[in-house]
Amino acid sequence: MTALHATAPGKTNLCLYLGPTRADGRHELVSVMQSLTLVDDLTLAPRTDGGTTDEVVCPGVSGDNLAGAALRAFRAATGWDGPPQRLEIHKRVPVAAGMGGGSGDAAAALRLAHAASGLGDAALLHTLAAGLGADVPAQVVPGRVLATGAGETLDRVPASDERPDYGVLVLPSHVALSTADVFREADRMGLARTAEDLAARLADVREFAGDLPDALIHNDLEAAARSLVPELGRTLLEAMAAGADRTLVSGSGPTVIGLFADREAARDAAARLAHRDPPARYAEPVADGAGAPAPVPA
């Protein structure tokens, strides 16, 4: 069986509106999620060491890995009895940073398992992704999506161009934030919108999702992330001082992003801030369909 490679793009939320809590304990959301060129690299290949179960190797990241759960879920759903696999992940997307790094890896693992086995289809991958986490379904097919429900209901969003023409300054943090902790803090702070307000924001986003105006580029979780990590206020000012047209916390944080209409200006800003700790990164939106598995050259 041929070894396969796929990239797992990180993501940012160009908007994230938080709604009421559902009966299952999850929040209703309205979010436009954009995959970025800041990616993890994944390789899936049969184990050659005699191991009898799938193995996930991710240097620098300890504990259970969502990509391993994705492989287990795929085998259980499809009955795939192919040889035990080694999934190797080389991280570039910050961990526990609001950029969907673990979710993107899980989504890429599903793509790789589908390609390796020939089993399943797009609908099954989406169902499995929804069972793994709120951000995973949107990353099964990287690109730009409008996510509603608790993140499991997706609409592909056509951009004004095939590949949106803007640059992204990424300012990571040494602090890791648990998504669950940020949502709990948002609940404590009473940040959730009413169902009526959320519906109004959804109507606005549907009208402009291909090219969101500044007024809709907003993250309701930002206040909760800043409450838990007050230094984010300084990081947002840092991105603004670097020349960003819009700044916001990415997802549940603590990564801060700056959006630049001029890609070269964003690239220059990242270069000027390469000395910071952790270093700034530059990224762009990916074209739809990025991250497709391909054979590893022999």
| Residues assigned a catalytic role | 11, 135
Which two three-digit tokens encode residue 48? 């050659």
Query: How far is 126 from 136, CA to CA, in rounded Å?
Result: 8
Q: Which two tokens stand for residue 51?
A: 């191991």
Residue 110, phi then psi, degrees to nearest 5: -65, -40
Check: CB of residue 32 under 8 Å from CB of residue 209: yes
How many angstroms separate the CA atoms of 137 and 129, rounded? 5
Residue with tokens 């673990």: 102
Work out the angle at residue 295's Cα, subtended by the Cα atoms of residues 290 and 298, and round it to the nearest 5 degrees: 140
Angle between helices 122-132 and 101-117 (to 10 degrees): 150
